Amino acid sequence: MKILLVEDSRAMAAVMSVRLSSFGYSVAVAENGALAVAKFADWGPDLILMDIEMPVMNGFEASARIRAIEATQDWAWTPILFLTASDTQENLITAIEAGGDDFMAKSVPEAVLQAKMKAMARIAALRSRLSQANRMLKEQASRDGLTGLCNRRYMDLTLDMAWSEAVRSGASFALLMLDIDHFKKYNDHYGHLAGDDCLRAVAGAVRTVVEAFSSDGHAKDAFAARYGGEEFAVVIPIASEQAYRSIADGVLDAVRGTGIPHERNAEWGIVTTSVGGAFVDAAGDDIAQMFRAADMRLYKAKESGRNRAVLN
Ligand code: GH3
Ligand code: MG
Ligand code: MG
Ligand code: MG
């Protein structure tokens, strides 16, 4: 357990610090409230022991600032125990009102200090398991299980926000819809398990292209999602028309580049995709209009021979 000890008296800090370390906890000392807030932000302690009277910033103010930082994060709550001169009823009430969880007299007997720290360590362990589980659940809820791409649910949620932002700022917006060519025949010929492998490989190729454009800054917020079945979408907020076209070409190339044999995709002999896209200079119309345009062009790409993109 990481304990942040906030105490302006050097002598008191030294004594407490030695006691806490002797229980096996790692301890960092901050000499006033302002230093405590800074240390809290970059060290992420599991527990804070907070003196009240201190120069620069007192313990109540520091606690309020720490709670304000936590309010911007999911499920963040670090226990704060105020250190007081005496354990009066008033001190307890003031401590809780100030955003603390408990208080402790500085003269607390060794055994009581050890017992309280044990209870706090249990809470800290539970909190860390909870936040890990929460992170995993969040991750799972937004990923497609087969391909690891963002799933439809994540896409719908993110798309709404990205589109509203683009409408607000009059930014450009692009959307690509991809569909694997003759995938039903692929399954019929090679079997469903091979079909699943193929989906994973295609998804990986799409993802690599989109991530490259995203990380080199040409389409910073672009992401790929599994739209459904053997269909994928690439959402490209705030991108130039050039980036839109390059991503479409890049994706077609990358899928061909996997070189997965597909005998029943007669003309090409390997797995290919068709792409339909929509681009607007300034987001304004309904986002549904973008989907209709991209869908219609995807249909055209299929009709005109597959393994190509129709972008306008
Ligand atoms: P087109 O070139 O016109 O797109 O033809 P297609 O055969 O790809 O189109 P269609 O929509 O008729 O077939 C899509 C196939 O994708 C049917 C379905 O069995 C397969 N499919 C969808 N999801 C999965 C999946 O998760 N795993 C596997 N193996 N196949 C899937
Ligand atoms: Mg003090
Ligand atoms: Mg399809
Ligand atoms: Mg298809």
C-alpha of residue 107 to centroid of ligand 4, in Å: 73
Residue 179 in contact with residue 298, Cβ under 8 Å?
yes
Assess whether pLDDT exceeds 90 at residue 6. Answer: yes
Atom of ligand 1 nearest to the CA of 193: 29
pLDDT digits (tens, 9 = 90+) for 71-119: 998 878 899 999 988 778 887 888 888 889 988 999 999 999 999 999 9
32 DSSP 8-state letter: S
* Pocket test residue of 183, 185, 295, 307 for ligand 1, highest count of atoms within 8 A of CB: 183
Residue 213 in contact with residue 247, Cβ under 8 Å?
yes
Residue nearest atom 12 in ligand 1 by C-alpha distance: 184
Assess whether pLDDT exceeds 80 at residue 196. Answer: yes
In the prediction, which pLDDT does 81 show?
Answer: 94
Q: Compute the distance between CA of residue 198 and CA of residue 244 in angstroms, rounded to an integer.
A: 25
- Phi/psi at 183 (5° precision): -80, -25
The binding-site residues of ligand 1, defined as CB within 6 angstroms of any ligand atom, are: 146, 179-185, 187, 192, 195-196, 199, 229-230, 302, 306
* Pocket test residue of 187, 263, 273, 307 for ligand 1, highest count of atoms within 8 A of CB: 187
Rg (CA), the chain: 28
pLDDT digits (tens, 9 = 90+) for 33-44: 999 999 999 999
What are the structure tokens assigned to 258, written together?
């996997």
Assess whether pLDDT exceeds 90 at residue 301. Answer: yes
The 3-class SS string of 136-161 reads HHHHHHHECCCCCCECHHHHHHHHHH
C-alpha of residue 307 to centroid of ligand 3, in Å: 14
Q: One of 90, 110, 230, 267 is an active-site residue; which one?
A: 230
61 is catalytic: no
Q: What domains are defined for the chain?
A: 2-140 (3.40.50.2300), 152-310 (3.30.70.270)
Q: Does the model's pTM come out above 0.85?
A: no
Region of residue 290 (left: phi > 0; alpha: psi -120 to 50; beta: else): alpha
Closest CA to 294 of 184, 175, 199: 175
Query: Mean pLDDT throughout 259-285?
Result: 96
pLDDT digits (tens, 9 = 90+) for 122-148: 998 998 898 899 889 988 999 999 999
What are the structure tokens assigned to 241, written together?
């028309």
In the prediction, which pLDDT does 228 show?
Answer: 95
What are the structure tokens assigned to 128, written together?
């860390």
